[in-house]
């Protein structure tokens, strides 16, 4: 198998299997481009920043990032796509249209709601070495280390001694 590719090495059977993974031949063609080498003659370099692409659709999307035509009327920050500006505007308005069905907590961004939903999961694989509290996301354990558990101990909180630095992260043992 190619690195990161779910398909077997090229054989007579591989093209047939590819259609099981890709709904259209154009999607398969786009995927095949990702297997080109960055030094391939078909690779293209962004004229603005020099980043190299083997996938022309990916390069086309990248080129848009240099064209910041959507500007915030409040702070002047510019964006390449209108929906990015729309999401940014919520930082000024405080609008949080994405609500959690479990607890009602609201978010300005759908991706933050998706991350939050994992807190309701039974699978919490990251555990604090100090207080044994478990978290579904490594980033939530990092936040815990930076705030509540260790700062509370430094300020005379829970009796366990506070380490000088948060311990190395490791998944909870099953």
Written as tens digits, the pLDDT of the chain (174 aa) is: 445 555 444 444 455 455 456 667 777 776 776 666 667 777 888 999 999 888 788 889 899 999 999 999 999 999 999 999 999 999 999 999 999 999 999 999 998 998 888 888 888 888 898 898 888 888 888 888 888 777 655 554 444 444 444 445 445 443
Give me the pLDDT at residue 90, please: 96
Helix (H, G, I), strand (E, B) or coil at 70: strand
Q: Does 33 map to a domain?
A: no
Determine which helix (DSSP H) or strand (DSSP E) holds 99, and give its type and residue range.
strand 98-99
Give me the pLDDT at residue 22, please: 66
Number of separate domains in the chain: 2
Look up the CATH number of the domain holding residue 113.
3.30.160.60
Sign of CA dihedral 101, 104, 109, 115: negative
Report the predicted TM-score, pTM, of the whole model to 2 decimal places.
0.50
Strand boundaries in 30-111, DSSP class E: 44-45, 52-53, 70-71, 78-79, 98-99, 106-107
Give me the pLDDT at residue 26, please: 74
Same domain, 91 and 101: no
Give me the pLDDT at residue 4, please: 54
Neighbours of 118 (CB within 10 A): 13
Q: Which of 150, 116, 117 is nearest to 133 (CA)?
A: 150
Q: Which of 66, 33, 36 is nearest to 51 (CA)?
A: 66
- Domain span at residue 119 reads 96-147
Q: Does 102 map to a domain?
A: yes
Same domain, 85 and 100: no
Give me the pLDDT at residue 152, please: 58
Same domain, 86 and 104: no
Query: What gap in Å lies between CA 170 and CA 129, rounded to an integer?
Result: 9
Q: Does 122 map to a domain?
A: yes
Give me the pLDDT at residue 158, please: 47
Give me the pLDDT at residue 139, please: 84
Give me the pLDDT at residue 56, please: 82
Same domain, 74 and 105: no
Query: What gap in Å lies between CA 145 and CA 166, rounded to an integer?
Result: 6
């Amino acid at each position: 198998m190619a690195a990161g590719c779910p398909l077997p090495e090229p054989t007579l059977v591989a093209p047939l299997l590819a259609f099981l993974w890709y709904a259209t031949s154009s999607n398969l063609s786009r995927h095949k481009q990702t297997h080109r080498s960055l030094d391939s003659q078909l690779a293209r370099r962004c004229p603005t920043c020099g980043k190299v692409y083997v996938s022309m659709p990916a390069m086309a999307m990248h080129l848009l990032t240099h064209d910041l035509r959507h500007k915030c009327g409040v702070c002047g920050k510019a964006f390449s796509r209108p929906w990015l500006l729309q999401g940014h505007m919520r930082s000024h308005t405080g609008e949080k249209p994405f609500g959690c069905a479990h607890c009602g907590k609201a978010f300005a961004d759908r991706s933050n709601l998706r991350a939050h939903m994992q807190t309701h999961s039974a699978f919490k694989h990251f555990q604090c070495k100090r207080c044994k509290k478990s978290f579904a996301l490594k980033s939530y354990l990092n936040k815990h280390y930076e705030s509540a558990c260790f700062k509370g101990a430094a300020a005379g909180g829970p009796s366990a001694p506070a380490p000088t630095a948060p311990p190395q992260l490791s998944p909870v043992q099953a």
